[in-house]
């Protein structure tokens, strides 16, 4: 058993209001320099939609992540031979138009223009070339809230039935905030020829060594989530750093700190690195359960002893016991990985939202009565769509999470109105009275220190092998990728 500690974030999509406060706080702190204008280490996408960069989920086009090849995993994009042949050319990398050409406006012209008959305007100009832009074709959050648009929503690769977004009675929309997942099996780390990207041993954060990076951009191609960016000014790769200067002092990430809806939870997970490879070789529809099987119980004394041998400090073990992310991912099995079929084992998880309710059904669109709290079948977001996002196609794991959320609402509503509660309904959804109470507190009245349990780090006290950073697990060790 090879016990590793990882800082993990969970997103409760049922509470995200799409305000982009997280994106702006991240942008202001980390990407306010030349060459990073188009970088959104944290962004909030409208689903269904094409996302950012456009159609990043389509790995038939971008060929990111890993694929199971018999008893081994291999990078979907290329092996060692093609890597050398494509050293100066990345055929599967998003183009600038898949993001957008960063622009600004010539505000100086508004007050510096010479006198004339026409009102001066602030014309747009490219922040890359400095030339004027007659037509702006895209920008950040370009398709924000355009769920029913045939231009954007219909291009969502997860949407099987396009007719759903063609009728007002069946349209649906939800928000999907995204950061780098700081995966347990990061494809970006394995693909880097210069070994500039590494996974830190002490907290699992994936970072880019700017002094080593040569700007080959294999990391951008290999990352299936397209969360590694290229700084066109410095010629280096850049990405989300999980706000490690903040988390090292026990503070939560800037995006989580600024979140208006309090949808984010940050905490410690312990996982068995020896089991990761075999877990990722499972079929797509078994990957969620395989993910859960890798996560270890922090109260198990054998696990704690294994963690100590790997240099995990006691305060991290204490934080893992109280971790809100462990409760949401492993105990209650509510939080699910985003596109587990990419096989990077993402360490960011999502609680699916209870989407708007279908108000009409049948060919005549007659009104449908569902009562105060709807059943799962009455929710607008198709279960197949959510399974494509969070279940590797496994509808059952998504349905089970939704059933628990609905049962929790029914139970707490009855308690708040002093009505009889139905313990059998809770039990059928996999909950009990104590579990419902814990979830209710986490979702509603839980304070900052309950939603974010982040142990500070004393790096000088850490074991030498954890301080340098670890590449993750067996596959990366075999290929010699990462730092150890």
Residue 129 lies in a domain: no
| DSSP symbol at 94 | P
Instruction: Indicate the range of 47-61, 75-89, 120-134, 335-349 predicted with least confidence.
Output: 75-89
Structure tokens at 114: 């010479």
The string of pLDDT tens digits covering residues 383-439 is 999 999 999 999 999 999 999 999 999 999 999 999 998 888 899 999 999 999 999
Determine the pLDDT at residue 86.
61
Angle at 221 between CA 234 and CA 484, to 5 degrees: 80
Residue 409 lies in a domain: yes
* Domain range for 195: 1-82+152-484
Choice between 309 and 464, residue whose per-residue pLDDT is larger: 309
- Whether residue 316 contacts residue 327, with contact meaning beta carbons closer than 8 Å, is answered with no
Neighbouring CB atoms inside 10 A of 145's CB total 12
> How far, rounded to the nearest angstrom, does the alpha carbon of residue 68 sit from its chain's CA centroid?
22
Question: How many residues are there in the chain?
Answer: 484
Residue 53 preceded by cis peptide, ω within 30: yes
Determine the pLDDT at residue 38.
96
Residue 225 lies in a domain: yes
Measured CA to CA, the distance from residue 282 to residue 199 in angstroms comes to 24
List the CATH number of the domain containing 193.
3.30.70.20
Diameter over CA atoms, the chain: 81
Determine the pLDDT at residue 288.
97
Q: What's the chain's average pLDDT? A: 88
Residue 456 lies in a domain: yes
Residue 398 lies in a domain: yes
pLDDT > 70? residue 150: yes
Residue 143 lies in a domain: no
Measured CA to CA, the distance from residue 251 to residue 373 in angstroms comes to 37
Q: What is the pTM of this model?
A: 0.91
pLDDT > 90? residue 466: no
E strand residue ranges, 330-459: 336-337, 348-351, 360-361, 366-367
| DSSP symbol at 95 | P
Report the share of the chain in percent with pLDDT over 70: 88
Determine the pLDDT at residue 384.
94
pLDDT > 70? residue 476: no
* Cα dist from 232 to 195, 229, 337, whole Å: 20, 9, 31
Residue 69 lies in a domain: yes
Confidence of residue 458 (pLDDT cuts 50, 70, 90): low
Sorted by sequence, the CB contacts under 8 Å of residue 364 that are 6+ apart come out as: none
- Whether residue 123 contacts residue 132, with contact meaning beta carbons closer than 8 Å, is answered with yes
Residue 231 lies in a domain: yes
Dihedral over Cα of 332, 392, 252, 7: its sign: positive
Determine the pLDDT at residue 91.
78
Determine the pLDDT at residue 65.
96
Choice between 297 and 137, residue whose per-residue pLDDT is larger: 297
Matching residue, tokens 């016991």: 321
The string of pLDDT tens digits covering residues 76-119 is 986 655 655 565 667 788 999 999 999 999 998 888 888 888 88
The string of pLDDT tens digits covering residues 172-197 is 889 999 999 999 999 999 999 999 99
> Structurally, how many domains does the chain consist of?
1
The string of pLDDT tens digits covering residues 213-256 is 999 999 999 999 999 999 999 999 999 999 999 999 999 999 99
């Amino acid at each position: 058993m090879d016990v590793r500690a990882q800082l993990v974030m969970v997103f409760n999509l049922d509470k995200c209001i799409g305000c982009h406060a997280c994106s702006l706080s991240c942008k202001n702190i980390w990407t306010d320099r030349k060459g990073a204008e188009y970088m959104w280490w944290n962004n909030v996408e409208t689903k269904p939609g094409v996302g950012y960069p456009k159609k990043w989920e389509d790995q038939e086009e971008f060929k990111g992540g890993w694929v199971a090849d018999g008893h081994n995993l291999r990078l979907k994009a290329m092996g060692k031979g093609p890597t050398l042949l494509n050293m100066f050319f990345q055929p599967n990398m998003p183009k600038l138009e898949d993001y957008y050409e960063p622009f600004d406006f010539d505000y100086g012209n508004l007050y510096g223009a010479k006198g004339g008959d026409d009102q001066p305007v602030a014309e747009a100009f490219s922040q890359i070339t400095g030339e004027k832009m007659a037509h702006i074709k895209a920008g950040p959050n370009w398709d924000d809230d355009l769920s029913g648009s045939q231009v954007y929503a219909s291009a969502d690769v997860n949407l099987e039935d396009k007719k759903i977004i063609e009728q007002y009675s069946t349209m649906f929309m939800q928000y999907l905030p995204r950061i780098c997942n700081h995966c347990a099996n990061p494809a970006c780390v394995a693909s880097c020829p210069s070994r500039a990207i590494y996974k830190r041993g002490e907290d699992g954060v994936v970072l880019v060594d700017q002094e080593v990076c040569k700007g080959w951009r294999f990391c951008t191609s290999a990352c299936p989530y397209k969360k590694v960016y290229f700084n066109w000014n410095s010629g280096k790769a850049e990405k989300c750093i999980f706000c490690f200067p903040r988390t090292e002092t026990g503070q939560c990430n800037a995006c989580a700190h600024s979140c208006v809806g309090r949808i984010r939870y940050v905490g410690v997970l312990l996982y068995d690195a020896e089991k990761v490879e075999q877990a990722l070789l499972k079929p797509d529809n078994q990957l969620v359960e395989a993910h859960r099987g890798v996560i270890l119980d922090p109260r198990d004394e054998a696990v704690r002893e294994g963690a100590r041998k790997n240099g995990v400090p006691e305060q991290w073990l204490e934080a893992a016991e109280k971790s809100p992310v462990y409760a949401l991912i492993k105990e209650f099995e509510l939080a699910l990985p985003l596109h587990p079929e990419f096989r990077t084992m993402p360490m960011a998880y999502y609680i699916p939202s209870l989407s708007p309710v279908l108000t009409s059904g049948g060919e005549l669109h007659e009104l449908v009565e569902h009562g105060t709290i709807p059943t799962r079948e009455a929710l607008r977001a198709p279960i197949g769509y959510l399974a494509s996002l969070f279940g590797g196609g496994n509808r059952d794991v998504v349905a089970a999470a939704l059933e628990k959320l609905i049962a929790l609402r029914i139970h707490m509503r009855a308690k708040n109105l002093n009505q009889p509660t139905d313990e059998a309904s809770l039990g059928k959804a996999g909950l009990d009275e104590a579990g419902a109470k814990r979830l209710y507190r986490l979702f509603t009245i839980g304070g900052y220190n309950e939603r974010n349990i982040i142990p500070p780090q004393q790096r000088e006290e850490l074991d030498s092998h954890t301080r340098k950073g670890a590449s993750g697990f067996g596959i990366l060790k075999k290929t010699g990728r990462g730092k150890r």
